[in-house]
Amino acid sequence: MDRPKPYRRFRKLLIANRGEIAVRVIRTARAMGLSSVAVYSEADAGALHVEMADEAVLLGAPRARDSYLNIERVIEAARKTGAQAIHPGYGFLSESAEFAQACFDANIVFVGPTPAMIRAMGSKAGSKLLMEQAGVPLVPGYHGDAQDEAVLAREAAKIGFPVLIKASAGGGGRGMRIVRAASELSAAITSAKREANAAFGNDHVLIEKYVDNPRHIEVQVIGDSHGNLLSLFERECTLQRRHQKVIEEAPSPTLDASRREAVCAAARKAAGAVDYVGAGTIEFASDGKEVFFIEMNTRLQVEHPVTELITGIDLVEWQLRVAFGEALPLKQDQVKIDGHAIEARVYAENPAKNFMPSVGKIRTWHAPNETEGLRIDAGYRGGDAVSPYYDAMLAKVIAWAPTRDAAIARLNRGLTETDVRGIVTNIPFLSALVTHPAVAANVIDTGFIERELKALTPAPAAAGELELGAAVAAILGEEAKAAGAQGGSPWQSFGWMPVGQRQRVFAFRQGQGAEQKVILSYGKGPATLAIGDRVLPFAWSMTADGTCDLTLDGVKSRIFAVIEGHELYLRTSNGRFELHWVDPFGGDDEELVGEDKIAAPLPGTVVAILAEEGAKLDKGAAILTLEVMKMEQTLRAPFAGVLKAIKCKVGDIVQEGVELAEVEPTGA
């Protein structure tokens, strides 16, 4: 395959993406002296990447097809601002040969491979044929053009169940289904094709033999227009949920030196089959003995920071230098591994509710400082809105250390010290995952999270003396701040007494639990807290970074607290806690929502009606499917009954809380 002619050096770069990757590219562009142009939808008008860029252009309405996926509008934004190059990030148009061709036709540099390379390797089916010809090991499967259900069913039977249905035109777990029996195949094909078409505008699927208990290993490659092609070692991406990566690390703790060289050599062979130019990733599945080519991603990956941290290479800078027409600055034997890096993806989702996406305004965004060995790539900040239109990823927390154990410990500390309020995130789940003994021992496979989900999403711990003391300290600190005091003593906000003592009573409730009373005594002598039948010496002081130093019963602790009216969020050494400060003057009304309401949990689009009015339903029976944040969510019967009414139709765009169906309980 012909290599592209060397491009010209450009001065202004448009980033055709949003969120943390847009922010990431803007930072490197700025460091290289390039001007940056952001594009945005109406939903992202106040987004961080828009604020950071030198210029920004509105593309259109919130839906991706009206904005970030609209090739004509992105090209026009580049023309309007004089941007000479476009970086596609990942997702959206990053693997669109049509978009790369449109850039070429408009005399705009596309920071990535040529359209021909994207077509050859971006198609999962086409790339399988190329790899077969190049001698790269493949998973048995069907990659043909015939897409009618009869052909797919025949090929699946020939391969043997279980099989994996995959969208040919994209990745990220979209349009992917595991099918373990022939009876499940028809529904899985319909659902996979529908989701693939919504995500990528192409419903073509392929079928592969599903490798049970597999590991997911991928190799970072990058090539230039001078014929140089490097592999930058491998990443382990085995910890996944619904085929989406959750934790990534480099190098893989599974491979020894000889197997590392073998898989990297296979990756170079795969990329060399198309004389690849730009950054890309060759992905493999492993059964513990052999590796099989899965696909090539002809773009930068979400998890690229772990490769950067172990190699010291800025991959975005190298992408831009390749786009300038420069040769890669290092040879293969000059690229070395230094230490270990691990990354966790922070999502706006609720693990306790089957990872339902969470939308709304971020009221608090508190992250630790990026010190040596800790990096945070974020696309959001406090005050930003998380909309239902795009992927739910908010940020990535990445840690580096000389050893894997130390990197995991550093990552967990970074997660523990990150607080996001206003929406629900998966941060506690991530912390539980990286500290699981099996993860530390590397005894995992791609099904690990699903099997261990109960252990990884435990019920909230009960608040103890430390949390109740922290709640009192947080309230006093807030009152002191409001009074203009600097903190330091509990009486600064309500008056010191030279003789005698006063008391103040607080009451807190956790969830639907009973009230817990705390009595603060202050005045002459040390302040104390009476909790239950214990009386504990108590002191507090505010710190410069907004946290609070609490001393309770002689033990000093650093706490973080957010107070919103009578709702308290606390982070202590025991974890995260939500407490309600009971109003001593009454007025604690709480709205109760009946569990029998079949309503939209988030704004979304109705994509399938799965039951008919009048049908008898078992508890948990599927009623309809919504597409929310590019993922399908199936709403089910909360109890056994009769489907009395369907109050929506396929294609309806529904808002959060809108009733979609009515189920009448059996015997009602």
- The string of pLDDT tens digits covering residues 206-265 is 898 887 778 999 999 999 999 999 999 999 999 999 888 999 999 999 999 999 999 999
Residue with tokens 């505010």: 542
> Which of 258, 248, 355 minimizes the C-alpha distance to 306?
248
pLDDT higher than threshold 80 for residue 602: no
Which pLDDT band holds residue 587 (cuts at 50, 70, 90)? very low
pLDDT higher than threshold 50 for residue 149: yes
For domain 12-111, give the fold: Rossmann fold (3.40.50)
Residue 138 DSSP label: B
pLDDT at 4: 52
Which string of DSSP letters, residue by residue, matches 235-283?
EE---EETTEE-EEEES-TT--HHHHHHHHHHHHHHHHTTT--EEEEEE
- For the chain, give me the number of helices (H) and strands (E)? 17, 41
Contact 346, 432 (CB under 8 A): no
pLDDT at 662: 92
Provide the whole-model pTM: 0.80
Angle (CA) 275 294 289, round 5°: 110
Distances (CA, A) of 324 to 79, 85, 97, 106, 410: 19, 10, 20, 17, 37
Judge if the upstream peptide bond of residue 253 is cis by omega within 30 degrees of 0.
no
Catalytic entry in 119, 299, 410, 421: 299
Which pLDDT band holds residue 589 (cuts at 50, 70, 90)? very low
Q: In 402-500, at which residue ranges do the beta strands (DSSP E only) sit?
A: 419-421
pLDDT at 494: 44
Cα distance between residue 169 and residue 119, in whole Å = 10
Q: What is the pLDDT of residues 30-69, one digit of tens each?
A: 999 999 999 999 999 999 999 999 999 999 999 999 999 9
Cα distance between residue 253 and residue 626, in whole Å = 39
Cα distance between residue 345 and residue 425, in whole Å = 10
Q: Where do the CATH 3.30.1490.20 domains begin and end in the chain?
A: 140-209
Pick the more confident residue, 506 or 285. 506
- Among 97-101, 483-487, 556-560, the minimum mean pLDDT is found in 483-487
Which pLDDT band holds residue 598 (cuts at 50, 70, 90)? confident
Please say if 413 is a catalytic residue. no
Q: What is the pLDDT of residues 114-124, one digit of tens each?
A: 999 999 887 76
The pair of three-digit structure tokens given for residue 312, joined into one six-digit string = 């010291």
Q: In 48-98, at which residue ranges do the beta strands (DSSP E only) sit?
A: 55-60, 85-87
Intra-chain end-to-end CA distance of the chain, in Å: 69
Cα distance between residue 659 and residue 359, in whole Å = 18
pLDDT at 464: 96
Q: Where do the CATH 3.30.700 domains begin and end in the chain?
A: 465-581
Across the range 530-535, mean pLDDT stands at: 95
Provide the CATH number for the domain formed by 465-581 in this structure: 3.30.700
558-594 burial string, b = 16+ CB within 10 Å, else e? ebbbbbeeeebbbbbeebbbebbbbeeeeeeeeeeee
621 class by beta-carbon count within 10 Å (0-12 exposed, 13-18 middle, 19+ buried): middle
Q: Where do the CATH 2.40.50.100 domains begin and end in the chain?
A: 598-665
Q: What is the pLDDT of residues 346-382, one digit of tens each?
A: 999 999 888 989 999 999 999 999 988 999 999 999 9
pLDDT at 196: 85
pLDDT at 483: 66
For domain 140-209, give the fold: Dna Ligase; domain 1 (3.30.1490)
Q: Where do the CATH 3.40.50.20 domains begin and end in the chain?
A: 12-111
Q: What is the pLDDT of residues 455-504, one digit of tens each?
A: 999 988 999 999 999 999 999 988 887 766 444 444 444 444 445 568 89
**CATH 3.30.470.20 fits domain 215-236+256-456:** yes
Mean pLDDT of the chain: 89
pLDDT higher than threshold 60 for residue 6: no
Across the range 322-344, mean pLDDT stands at: 97
Residue 492 DSSP label: G
Across the range 140-157, mean pLDDT stands at: 89
CA-based diameter of the chain, in Å? 91
Judge if the upstream peptide bond of residue 251 is cis by omega within 30 degrees of 0.
yes
Query: The domain 598-665 is classified under which CATH number: 3.30.450.40, 2.40.50.100, 1.20.1440.230, 2.60.40.1220?
Result: 2.40.50.100
Amino acid at 597: K
